[in-house]
Amino acid sequence: MKNKKTIVISISSDISLFLIDNVLKKHRIIGTYRTLNKRLKQIKKIPRINLLKLDISKKTNIQNFFYKNKKLLTNWDNCIVSVGGQKPIGRFEKLETNEISTSIDINFKNQIILLNLLLSLRKKRGIKNVITWAGPGTNNANKLYFPYTISKIALIKSMELLDYEIGDVKFCILGPGWVKTKIHKETLKNKKNSEKNYNITKKVLKGNLNIDTPISDIDKCVDWVFRSKKKEVGGKNFSVKHDEWKSPKFMKKLLDHKDYYKLRRKS
């Protein structure tokens, strides 16, 4: 994957920042940001990295970003979309309708709109990679994060549909599990609405509850997706923490059971 061009949507996310220093350390990076903080000002000085401002919350911003930066975005090999936010948090009936709409725009709809535009600029030769991120509640029912959860489920199905339709791109979605990143600040800022999740989040962040995923495992899993074939991992949703992607036998399982790791009913 040396000298590949990789677009990272929301390079300021903690996962993205780790990836660019590790599995993506030899890639030419086009990273987007909403606010230029101290860390990004340091990154901006690195010759192989270009930073572009983008607030993905509005469709008009996406279109302006695309047409303004078309030349720089052309001929990409990989695209990692790391946009996400837990808000609004709380019982569904108590949520504001505009907050629900904004969350779904950020966590799903506008990511797909941006992908629709970016796909036209992908490199012509070889298999390209698109990686997005799953979230909680995809294999069970959870409370208090309805817009965030339903958006992630929509993303999972989107990766399968796009992988089936587009032959030269490998679409994959990874569930990072509980990672110690700044996204959890949204739960801590909503103590009342997040209910018992407030105390669980505090315990994990303080190291008093060992349920989190090492961020280094996420880096290794991204590398595994890059190295795997489209017929092996394309269109599928993998749990970084719980699936056996580190095992050589896992690939045979994927090839033998084409419906595994996709949204399916059990009979």
CA–CA dist 171, 225 (Å, integer): 10
Domain ranges of the chain: 5-178+214-256
**Which token pair is 267?**
């009979």
Domain 5-178+214-256 has CATH 3.40.50.720: yes
Q: Which helix H or strand E contains 238, and what residues bound it?
A: strand 236-239
Q: What is the pTM of this model?
A: 0.94
Give residue-wise pLDDT tens across range 205-226: 888 777 789 999 999 999 999 9
Give the per-residue pLDDT at 1: 60
**Which token pair is 215?**
């961020």
Give the per-residue pLDDT at 205: 83
CB 12 within 8 A of CB 35: yes
Give residue-wise pLDDT tens across range 154-191: 999 999 999 999 999 999 999 998 888 888 888 989 89
Give residue-wise pLDDT tens across range 115-164: 999 999 999 999 999 999 998 888 888 899 999 999 999 999 999 999 99
